[in-house]
Amino acid sequence: MELRIVEKNNQRIAEVLSSDVLIKTPQDALDLIAEVGYYEAIGVILQEDHFTPDFFDLRSKVAGEILLKFSNYKVKMAVIGQFEKYTSKSLQAFIRESNRGREVFFVPDRETALNKLTV
């Protein structure tokens, strides 16, 4: 996995540069959290396609299990993507609610991700 460490507002953010699906299970999330922790980053930027498609099907419970790991280890996460294409009302509500919080964000671009993670 290739990471770029970005510093903004005296905070370190890890940006995942790989083009592969990286997070399929909660263990994959833990592995990423450990890697991010090595660089003393407070958050991580991922792309939508870094996740298994099951992540975006809330009935699979994959999103909840993965986000719980990030929350437990106090690592913020921003996911860059085009989320309007998902028609599930519950997923759209989940995205809106996440974006109101302080830990997980679903954003359209890298700059927004950095701004959300370093507030």
Confidence class for position 86, pLDDT limits 50, 70, 90:
very high
Task: Report pLDDT for 39.
Answer: 96
117 assigned to some structural domain: no
For position 15, which CATH number holds? 3.40.50
* Number of independent structural domains in the chain: 1
Q: The domain containing residue 14 runs over which residues?
A: 3-112
12 assigned to some structural domain: yes
At residue 1, does pLDDT exceed 90? no
At residue 113, does pLDDT exceed 90? yes
118 assigned to some structural domain: no
pTM of the prediction? 0.94
**Pairing label, strands 104-107, 76-80:** parallel
119 assigned to some structural domain: no
Span 55-82, mean pLDDT? 96
Per-residue pLDDT of 31-63, as tens digits, reads 999 999 999 999 999 999 999 999 999 999 999
DSSP code string of 45-107:
EEEGGGB-GGGG-GGG-HHHHHHHHHHHTT-EEEEES-GGG---HHHHHHHHHHHHSSSEEEE
Per-residue pLDDT of 8-26, as tens digits, reads 999 999 999 988 878 999 9
Task: Report pLDDT for 98.
Answer: 95
